[in-house]
């Protein structure tokens, strides 16, 4: 059903910018990165609520689901996996348009990182398989997949399924 609201694509840019800045803050390990990231996410959340839907316009992805994804990604990046795990159920990737398969897979890689850090290797492996089904190339060639797989391989109990995935991702010597 078409929306009755006229949408100005440019109006999503401030929110998209705020959500991306929280990852930049986390990646730069600012002195109070957690607080700075939270402030940026609050600004992004306000814009996402006004938008009310997930969009892919002007070369950027933004909306409520993307903000929820960042609420997982930022604490994972900061090593605050307990905080990230508290937001895992807030993300409904099924709301994302199909053309955002890579974004969905990238989020699932972060979820797998979170599970690995919490010692739930089965959930991490299952999540990587889900991500691979969504966007195989994104998973197979992403550097963070290699990190998760290396950790899973250190803890494996000779799982051929894990080794198969590691081979597809070129994570075995």
pLDDT in tens, 3-62: 434 345 445 444 444 555 555 444 555 446 566 667 777 777 777 787 777 777 766 777
State which H helix or E strand residue 96 sits in.
Answer: none
**pTM score, two decimals?**
0.77
Strand bridging mode 60-62 / 55-57? antiparallel
Query: What pLDDT is stored for residue 23 in this prediction?
Result: 52
Query: What pLDDT is stored for residue 78 in this prediction?
Result: 84
Given CA atoms 87, 105, 114, 155 in this order, what sign does their dihedral have? positive
């Amino acid at each position: 059903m078409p929306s009755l609201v006229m949408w100005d694509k440019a109006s999503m840019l401030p929110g998209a910018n705020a959500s991306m800045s929280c990852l930049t803050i986390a990646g730069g390990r600012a002195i109070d990165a957690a607080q700075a990231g939270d402030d940026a996410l609050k600004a992004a959340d306000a814009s996402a609520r006004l938008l009310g839907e997930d969009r892919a316009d002007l070369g950027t992805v933004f909306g409520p689901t993307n903000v929820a994804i960042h609420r997982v990604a930022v604490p994972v990046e900061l090593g605050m996996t307990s905080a990230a795990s508290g937001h895992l159920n807030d993300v409904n990737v099924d709301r994302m348009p199909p053309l955002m398969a890579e974004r969905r897979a990238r989020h699932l890689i972060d979820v797998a990182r979170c599970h690995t850090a919490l010692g739930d290797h089965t959930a991490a492996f299952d999540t990587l398989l889900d991500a691979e089904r969504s966007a195989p190339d994104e998973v197979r060639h992403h550097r963070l997949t290699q990190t998760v797989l290396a950790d899973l391989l250190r803890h494996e109990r000779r799982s051929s399924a894990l080794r198969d995935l590691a081979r597809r991702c070129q994570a075995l010597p």
